[in-house]
Structure 1
Amino acid sequence: MLTETKQTTPHRWAALGVLCASLLMVGMDLTVLHVAVPTISRELLPSGSELLWIVDSYALTVAAGLITCGTLGDRFGRKRMLLAGFVVFGLASAGAALSVAPGQLIAARAALGVGGAMIMASTPAIIRAVFPDDRERSVAIGLWTAANSVGVSIGPLLGGLLIEHFWWGSVFLVNVPIVVLAVVGGALLVPESRDTRPHRWDAVSAGMSAVGLGTVVYAFQQLGEHDGAHPVVWATALLGVVLLVGFVVRQRRIRHPLLDVTQFADRRFSLSALCILGCYGAYTALLFLLTQRFQLLEGYSPLGAGLALVPLALANAGGAALAPRFAVWWGPRGVLSGGLLLGALALAAFTLFGATGNYAALVAAGLGSGTVMTLGSDAIMGAAKPERAGEAGAVQETSFSLGAGLGIALLGTVLSLVYRSDFAPVPGASAQQWDIARSSLGAATEVAARTGGRVGDALQSAAEHAFDAGFAVATGSAATVLALLGVLAWRGLRESGRRRHD
């Protein structure tokens, strides 16, 4: 075995606690801004494009940096990468909290993404080294995935609670004490591990993967904002695709690749990554859509919107933690495909019956996504070679981050297109009022409040009807994707499932 652990791990479960705390923090920062956007808009007065970057630069930077951080961790030490990531994350959190201009906040969010990539790329490889036993590792990954999922789920709740009592910067400043504890705990409890025979680091490949992933995610996000009407956006997407294709070709040709793309020939590895990407994309997009719906359509406060998502968060954590036990009873293949199909049914229920009071669908969506994320992560790490654990962790976390970015961008685009096309003309409203109201539900709510009277009520009613239509189409589209992935997982993982039971 080429992977070396410098010390034994008698406190491996305590070390896992440090890793779980770090992933809880990283997950929270993915969604904590969802309820803070209106407040930040009033305080910093960003333009539309600046606001987009404030929200998305974090996930974009995480996705772009994961493969590079994973391979650097294999080379220089995963514990070093983890602790350095904590420091970067803490400093960037303080910078974000103290920002006084949109540009400063965007830069701080990007730095947060760098720290997040360092943390997220290191933790799966450390778990692989600390828990060599398959059963223990499966439980550890379940708890670790639950921590990340809970962080994503409680982000809106924590953000709403802090904004109602403090200023908007508190949603970032809360990270600092967590970072301090994580640095101390990581230094004392987490063992060092690395590839003992590392190859020369390929900076060209690192640049191609980072820029390629970054431009593709950015282009999708911009397509959701501009309906794909700008040639520059399409050119950016094409550039990203060309770089990623070139990256794959280069990895197949050079002697010591940055990423061993032959791992994707393993059906268990590639299908698990695809399932994580699709499921996590649907999950994070659902969080975003529900948060906006609760606040702008149903009049919830930021805290109220976060509280309404608690059943989803608890079910997600429960599904992630119980997935290994479910897998013992029904087999990993059955539980993975079943989790995808359960998520599809939940999203279909939102499509047919709406979100108000639909707690059964919230619980089902959380339970299904939690099981898929745990078993998909375990399958990826279990299929990887021990000496390439950092790479496998990077692929796994890239699936999460790309899923988050692409899920919001794609389903947001679907909702936006349906919203604008379904927004009926309002008698008595000027062309300018109607055009502004059609741009987004938030804009419609503001225009309706300023206009008042029957015209204002009619604008608000038209906006609510159009948003409902867009929400139904978006959730229906996500349900279709998850159902297809469930069937694909059931059929595609049949061989590996048989081998495991033989």
Structure 2
Amino acid sequence: MLVGGTDMTKVTVALPTLNEALSLGTIESLWTADIYALAAGVVLVPAAVVADRYGRKRIYLLGLGVAIVSAILAGLAPTGAVLIAARVGQGIGSALLIAGTVAIIRVTFPGLQLRALAYGVWTAGFSTGSALGPLLGGGLVDFAQWQWVFWINVPILLVCLILIAAWMILPESTNPDPPRLDGLSAVLSAVAVGVPIAGLKGLAQPGIPTWLALTGIGVGAVAGVLFAVRQIHLPRPFLDVRLFADRLLAVSAVVIAVTLGVFNGTLYLLTLRYQVVDGLSAVDAGIALIPLAAAMAVGGLLGPLLQRRLTQKHVIVGGLALTAVGSLVLATMPGAGQPVGMTTLGLGSGIVMAIGANAVMSTAPAERTADAGAIQESAFALGGGTGIAVLGVLAIHFGGQTPTGPSHEATYGPGTETALGIAAFFFACFAIAATPIILSTTGRRHLRAL
């Protein structure tokens, strides 16, 4: 998860160099940044099903192999298209790793308090990776070659596989009542995740009719509805959508997705603005972003500690409030207010990620661990990928077009300021609306677990 966190952010800080080396356009840059999270989101549900049936440890080890090979190919990419394809492979490897890890944690730590701490450490690992990512990516770009932004993963993952001996240490487990392998469900879930994001990007791409982009968004929505209907009628669903009947689980998943979307979208835009508009080097941009990502790592560890004195619901609400305040400060107080805004946004996001993840997993029955894990991690992946896509499209739209397409300077200058302002306003509205819903959830299964 530490490596996965760096993959989210170190590539973003390297984008200006990648743009020049591979002649990436603005839309290709957007795909390079968020295709990793989106590919993970598309594959997570099928990966969780396969892990349940054939073994979580096996899927975890397979994910390590896929992630290593994809990192090698990304560094060898001669064009933007090949790089994007390799990033898809990295996302698939990440999904396989996550599908195994979520269930392994759930069956290894039976107590609620220990499990909360385990998920907090797990989330902090990802957050710490996010914190190190900008500085690591900037250092590799400035002092080595851009290829090492990807190749650095290879020795680290090999250490996990060989020296730490993951194949010996990790316990193997399966679900005694595994989901059925249903091809139609897999296709519907992939369409519901991937097509709307492609449609969103199409809205900002010259030459793609608006009606076609909107059609893509609509097709994805219809696929999502058909997927849910099919799951309800299957004897053993591919993904048990009936888990959403638990309001604490449902609202926690939504809060995770929206919060991480704001965090990742903000990180993406600030990284590029610091380099393209403010003229900072990749290393200096990474240093400037440390308060945002490091505070998220602290929040991931702070959340479980707060839960010892407060309920999950109140900790989640507190995290939402901090995230809303941080995003508003970033949008309204440029300059000196940015470190404060980044720290507050990161702290709140880390708390929401850790406690939201534990709430999703703790409210689900033990025999539905994989289903809950797929829901939780789909919220992570879709929130992160969609946040970059939405804020990126807003920045492109409000940055204006040149005869040859979107302007990098305008997109990451005035366009970014407008996009961050819109995101801050709508997230504040979301936090205000979500608070009474969260506090009114019964969390019956959670109370029985306590």
TM-score w.r.t. the length of structure 1 is: 0.83
Q: Which 4+ stretches in 1 moved above 6 angstroms?
A: none
AA matched with 2:427:
A
Cα distance change, pair 250–469 in 1 and its aligned pair in 2 (3 A): closer
Equivalent residue, structure 1, for 2:428: 479
Equivalent residue, structure 2, for 1:488: 437
2:146 is paired with a residue whose SS is coil
Q: C-alpha distance in 1, partners of 2:64/2:180?
A: 26
Q: C-alpha distance in 2, partners of 1:95/1:418?
A: 35
Q: C-alpha distance in 2, partners of 1:325/1:208?
A: 39
Cα distance change, pair 227–413 in 1 and its aligned pair in 2 (3 A): farther
Contact in 1 for aligned 2:269/2:416 (Cα 8 Å): no
Q: C-alpha distance in 1, partners of 2:265/2:26?
A: 20
AA matched with 2:232:
R
**Percent of paired sites with the same residue:** 35
2:351 is paired with a residue whose SS is helix
Deviations along 1:268-303, one digit per CA (max 9) or x if unpaired, are 110110110111111111111211222223221111
Equivalent residue, structure 1, for 2:79: 101
Unaligned runs of 5+ in 2: none
Deviations along 1:174-202, one digit per CA (max 9) or x if unpaired, are 10011112223311211001112435311
Cα distance change, pair 41–386 in 1 and its aligned pair in 2 (3 A): same
The equivalences for 1:404-419 within 5 A come to: 404-419=384-399
Contact in 1 for aligned 2:399/2:413 (Cα 8 Å): no
Offset, 1:356: 4.3
Equivalent residue, structure 1, for 2:297: 317
Contact in 1 for aligned 2:295/2:343 (Cα 8 Å): yes
Q: C-alpha distance in 1, partners of 2:157/2:140?
A: 18
Contact in 2 for aligned 1:68/1:210 (Cα 8 Å): no
Contact in 2 for aligned 1:438/1:444 (Cα 8 Å): no
1:195 is paired with a residue whose SS is coil
CA RMSD of aligned residues (A): 2.4
Offset, 1:500: 6.7
Offset, 1:374: 0.6
Contact in 1 for aligned 2:363/2:443 (Cα 8 Å): no
Contact in 2 for aligned 1:213/1:240 (Cα 8 Å): yes
Equivalent residue, structure 2, for 1:75: 53
Equivalent residue, structure 2, for 1:179: 157
Offset, 1:316: 1.1
1:235 is aligned to 2:212: no
Equivalent residue, structure 2, for 1:348: 328
Equivalent residue, structure 2, for 1:16: none
AA matched with 1:173:
W
Equivalent residue, structure 1, for 2:260: 280
Q: C-alpha distance in 2, partners of 1:295/1:262?
A: 46
Deviations along 1:113-151, one digit per CA (max 9) or x if unpaired, are 111110112211110011111111110000001111222
Q: C-alpha distance in 2, partners of 1:230/1:302?
A: 35
AA matched with 2:108:
V
1:136 is aligned to 2:114: yes
Deviations along 1:407-451, one digit per CA (max 9) or x if unpaired, are 12222333333333xxxxxxxxxxxxx8359933x2459xxxxxx
Cα distance change, pair 283–414 in 1 and its aligned pair in 2 (3 A): same
1:254 is aligned to 2:203: no
TM-score w.r.t. the length of structure 2 is: 0.93
AA matched with 1:209:
S
Equivalent residue, structure 1, for 2:402: 435
Offset, 1:213: 1.1
The equivalences for 1:147-226 within 5 A come to: 147-184=125-162, 185=164, 186-225=166-205
Contact in 1 for aligned 2:323/2:349 (Cα 8 Å): yes
Contact in 1 for aligned 2:49/2:179 (Cα 8 Å): no
Q: C-alpha distance in 2, partners of 1:355/1:275?
A: 29
Cα distance change, pair 498–234 in 1 and its aligned pair in 2 (3 A): closer
Deviations along 1:71-124, one digit per CA (max 9) or x if unpaired, are 110110000000000000000100111111222212211111111110112211
Offset, 1:232: 2.0
Cα distance change, pair 501–333 in 1 and its aligned pair in 2 (3 A): farther
Equivalent residue, structure 1, for 2:6: 28
Equivalent residue, structure 2, for 1:10: none
The equivalences for 1:298-447 within 5 A come to: 298-420=278-400, 435=402, 439-440=406-407, 442-444=408-410
1:40 is aligned to 2:18: yes
Equivalent residue, structure 1, for 2:104: 126
1:192 is paired with a residue whose SS is coil
Contact in 2 for aligned 1:221/1:406 (Cα 8 Å): no
